[in-house]
């Protein structure tokens, strides 16, 4: 008879099907046909995975209980009846999984990430995945978690030095030509950044620096990568990217050297560490904090479609405004062209012609008055002159006596007999010669 011992079915490494007790291909073999000890296994007669896992479980189950000390870097106590904890060594980069149920789960609910604790429990192997953990039955707090406290203390120290001040932040370039990317080799974060950047702004280039993003090698490699990219004149902006992880996995990005190198970086730098809820000290020192690597890609480059739409809108607005200006100027020119001054230019001279006519009329009146006045004055002077003129005397019957040389004789004593004299009458003159002088 054949029986199923629960070890499952499969094939040998040589490809020959396992044969059960009844000879059926693929049926599990009885336990007594399998090697008793690991040293007796061969490629033709191996142990099924299930058997090895169960043997390890049986061995580990005989281990004694133990008290261990460490710091909680992850805790999942969402269910009331179970709790799962990742406990990290206080000094080394070593972690262990701790789980528990019932009373232990109730005790652990009061703890949080960063707490330093001691846990009592027993080693346990989960057969289904051959996973080793510590099944806890007691947990006690022994002080504030060193790691979280150190990070908080470092944060306060660097903040006091002004490394996180907004005045130190550098604005991102609007249209970068080259992006420096710091990430793990073949990491999903690298693909997320490059893919999303190329979808938004295909003309950009990348300068990629591959580093360890967790463990003791992480901080020095990240610092060196930041300095290399910052010194590269072709790099316009730097992205430090890493996918999600536990508090322990991301601890390298809270290293003091990494934070100082980030704060000292002249090139704009974007931190994209973990997910939305993950925070590290590099996020505080970076010029921009992105929630994810994909978010970082959207922040460092514009969307080419949005830019094209902006350009199209700007061109439309420009054309509309230029059209409005041309229409206004056209209406203005048409208004000028339709004015009477342009359609009948002579009307522009009418006011001035009236002014000239009025001035000529006024001038004529004024000149006429002046001439009349002067004519009257001349007539008066002429009358006066005539009244005083010798001719008027002559006209009254008198005569004017002159010597031969033209002197008027007004005294008879100035003449002697025989002198030639001229006698001017009202009409004409008489030349005569004196014959006798009569003294008064």
Q: How far apart are CA 428 and CA 394, in angstroms?
A: 10
Domains of the chain listed by start with CATH number: 38-142 (2.40.50.140), 147-302 (3.40.50.261), 392-434 (no CATH)
Residue 45 has pLDDT above 80, yes or no: yes
Amino acid 386: pLDDT: 78
Residue 251 DSSP code: G
Helix (H) or strand (E) holding 401, with range, is: strand 400-403
Residue 69 above 60 pLDDT?
yes
pLDDT tens, position by position, 278-299: 789 999 999 999 999 999 999 9
- Tell me what the pLDDT averaged over the chain comes to: 86
At 92 the pLDDT is 82
More confident residue, 69 or 345: 69
Taking a C-beta distance cutoff of 8 angstroms, is the pair 234, 267 a contact?
A: no
Position 304 confidence tier, pLDDT thresholds 50, 70, 90 = very high
Answer whether 241's CB lies under 8 Å from 226's CB.
Answer: no
76: which strand partners? 84
Residue in 192, 186, 193, 248 with CA at minimum distance from that of residue 218: 248
């Amino acid at each position: 008879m054949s029986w199923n011992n629960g070890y499952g079915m499969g094939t040998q490494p040589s490809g020959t099907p396992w044969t059960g007790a009844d000879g059926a291909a693929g049926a599990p073999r009885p336990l007594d046909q399998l090697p008793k000890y690991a040293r007796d296994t061969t490629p033709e007669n191996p142990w099924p995975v299930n058997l090895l896992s169960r043997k390890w479980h049986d061995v580990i189950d005989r281990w004694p209980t133990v008290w261990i000390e460490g710091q909680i870097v992850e805790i999942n106590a969402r269910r009331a009846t179970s709790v799962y904890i990742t406990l990290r060594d206080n000094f080394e980069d070593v972690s262990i999984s701790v789980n528990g149920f019932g009373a232990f789960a109730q005790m652990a609910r009061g703890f949080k990430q960063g707490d330093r604790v001691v846990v009592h429990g027993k080693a346990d192997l989960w057969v289904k995945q051959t996973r080793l953990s510590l099944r806890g039955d007691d947990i006690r707090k022994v002080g504030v978690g060193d790691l979280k406290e150190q990070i908080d203390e470092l944060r306060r120290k660097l903040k006091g030095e002004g490394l996180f001040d907004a005045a130190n932040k550098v604005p991102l370039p609007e249209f970068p030509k080259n992006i420096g990317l710091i990430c793990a080799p073949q990491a999903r974060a690298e693909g997320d950044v490059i893919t999303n950047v190329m979808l938004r702004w295909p003309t950009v280039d990348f300068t990629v620096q591959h580093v360890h993003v967790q463990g003791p090698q992480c901080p020095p490699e990240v610092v060196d990568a930041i300095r290399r990219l910052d010194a590269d004149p072709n790099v316009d902006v730097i992205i430090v990217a890493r996918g999600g992880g536990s508090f322990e996995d991301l601890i390298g990005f809270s290293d003091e050297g990494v934070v100082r190198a980030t704060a000292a970086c002249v090139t704009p730098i974007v931190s994209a560490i973990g997910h939305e809820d993950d925070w590290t000290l590099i996020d505080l020192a970076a010029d921009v904090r992105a929630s994810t690597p994909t978010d970082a890609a959207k922040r460092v480059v514009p969307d080419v479609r949005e830019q094209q739409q902006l350009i199209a809108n700007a061109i439309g607005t420009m054309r509309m405004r230029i059209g409005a200006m041309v229409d206004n100027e056209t209406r203005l020119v048409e208004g000028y062209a339709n004015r009477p001054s342009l359609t009948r230019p002579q009307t522009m001279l009418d006011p001035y012609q009236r002014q000239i006519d009025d001035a000529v009329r006024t001038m004529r009146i004024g000149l006429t008055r002046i001439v009349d006045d002067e004519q009257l004055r001349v007539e008066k002077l002429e009358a006066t002159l005539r009244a005083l003129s010798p001719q008027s005397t002559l006209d009254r019957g008198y005569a004017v006596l002159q010597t031969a040389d033209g002197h008027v004789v007004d005294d008879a004593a100035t003449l002697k007999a025989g002198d030639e004299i001229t006698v001017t009458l009202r009409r004409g003159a008489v030349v005569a010669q004196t014959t006798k002088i009569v003294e008064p």
